Structure 1
Amino acid sequence: MKTGPRLAVGLRGYDRAQVDELLGRIAGALNGGPPVTADEVRAVRFDIVLRGYEQRAVDELVQECVRELQTAAPIGQRPGRPRVHPGWLINWIQDSRFSGAGMRAGYDVRDVDAFLDRVVSGLRGAAPPVTARDVRECVFRAVRLGPGYDEQEVDRFLAQLAGALERR
C-alpha cells in the first residue's frame, strides 16, 4: 500500500510494513471497509527498525487518523465531549476580536476575516461546510506593514475553533 502523505525514512524508525498496514486498514475503514476504532489505532505499537519511518511524522499522521475516525464514527461512539450548537458557534466566531500585530509581522486581516466568513457561511448552510481539518490546514499571508492580526492569538483561536467543529 502506498501511504497517502509521503513519510520520511530515517536511520532508525517505525517498521514501514507495520505502519503501511495500519494506514491501509484506516483508509479502508474510512472508505466503507471493515471498521477500525480510534481506540484500536491508539493501542497499536510499532517496532523500531533500521531504515524505518520517522517516528514523529508517523505519530502526527496517526493522531490525524484518530481524529478522522472519531469524526466518522456513529454519534454514540464518539468521544464524550459535549456537542456544540451551530448558532452558538456562529455568534462566538462573529464576536471574536484579535489584537493588531503592531510592528511585528501578522496575518493579513482580509485573509483571516474571509476565512472566518467562509466558516460562518458553512455553518449556516449557505456554503460547503468547513471541517476541523480545513481549519488546521488554513494558511494566511503575513503582512509587515499594514493591517495584520497577532499571529499567536489567531492560531490559538483557530485551535479552539477546530476543536469546536469536531464536536458539532
Structure 2
Amino acid sequence: MRSEDVRTKRFNALKFDGCYDVREVDQFLDQAAAALEAHERGLREQAEIVRSHEVEAVKFTSRVYERGYSAQEVDVFLEELADALGSYETESGADGRAQR
C-alpha cells in the first residue's frame, strides 16, 4: 500500500448503526497517508506521525442514523494500512524491536 492508495480510498457512506464519523476517519487517514509518504521518501522522523500500533488501536465515534462510513469497510482497510506501516517500521527498525 502506498500513500496515494490511502489518499484516494473511498468508503460507502451509509445511514445505520455501525458507521464511523466521516471527519474523524478522513483526518486520521490524512495523517496515515503523510506517514506512508514520509516512509516512501525515507524521512523516518516525519514517518512517526502515525505508527502501525496506532492504526490497530484507533477508535472512531460511532454514528447511528447519521451519515457515516461503513465500519466494516474502514476496519478492513485499517488492517491493510497497519500491515503496510508495520513493514516499513520493521525495515527501518522503527518498530521498537531489535533488528537481527
**1:156 is aligned to 2:76:** yes
TM-score computed with the length of structure 2 as normaliser:
0.70
> Gaps spanning 5+ residues in structure 1: where?
1-87
Q: Assess, with a 3 A threshold, how the Cα gap between structure 1 residues 128 and 163 changes in structure 2: closer, same or farther.
A: closer
Structure with more contact order per residue of length (Cα contacts < 8 Å, sep ≥ 6): 2
2:10 to 97, 103, 109: 97
Read off the aligned partner of 2:78 and give its amino acid letter.
L
**Superposed CA RMSD:** 1.8
How many positions carry a matched residue from both structures?
Answer: 81
Stretch moving more, 94-103 or 155-164: 94-103
SS in 2 for 1:115: helix
SS in 1 for 2:16: coil
Hey, which of these two has a bigger chunk of helix by percent?
2
Provide Cα deviations, 1:41-81, integer angstroms capped at 9, x if missing partner.
xxxxxxxxxxxxxxxxxxxxxxxxxxxxxxxxxxxxxxxxx
> Gaps spanning 5+ residues in structure 2: where?
39-45, 89-100
TM-score computed with the length of structure 1 as normaliser:
0.44
In 2, Cα distance between the equivalents of 1:123 and 1:151? 22
Identity of aligned residues (%): 35
- Bigger Rg over Cα: 1
Read off the aligned partner of 1:119 and give its amino acid letter.
A
